[in-house]
Amino acid sequence: MDKIRNQSVENLVQVIAKMGTADDVYDFLSDLCTIKELQDMAQRFDMARLLKDGANYQSVAAEVGASSATISRVNRCLMYGNGGYEKAIALFKGEKK
């Protein structure tokens, strides 16, 4: 986590956290990211949700069209990361985490 923490990243995280609506975040991300970057992030979130629900690499690859290397990176974050995917998935499912 320390490798990504700097003032620029902190500013970005803080402004996203303060945005009031999904539309505000959507507008900001659409301006900030390329279409491909946004699609890649969405794909990784889809992979994390599928893996968290017990899907295997083959079914995740078939459903989202990702490489096994990318699926492995997402799975590694689920297993050994900072818990960000888990928090996001819980929010997505309407759970308290």
Q: Are residues 8 and 51 in the same domain?
A: no
pLDDT of residue 96: 60
pLDDT of residue 40: 96
Q: Are residues 49 and 84 in the same domain?
A: yes
pTM listed for this prediction: 0.87
Q: Are residues 62 and 17 in the same domain?
A: no
**Residue pLDDT, tens place only, 15-24:** 999 999 999 9
Domain ranges, residue 11: 1-32
Q: Are residues 25 and 62 in the same domain?
A: no
Q: Are residues 55 and 82 in the same domain?
A: yes
Give the Cα separation of 82 and 76 in Å (integer): 11
**Residue pLDDT, tens place only, 26-82:** 999 999 999 999 999 999 999 999 999 999 999 999 999 999 999 999 999 999 999
pLDDT of residue 95: 73
Q: How far is CA 64 from CA 39, 41, 61, 78, in A?
A: 11, 12, 6, 17
pLDDT of residue 39: 96
Token reading at 10: 């902190």
Looking at the structure of the chain, the number of domains it has is: 2
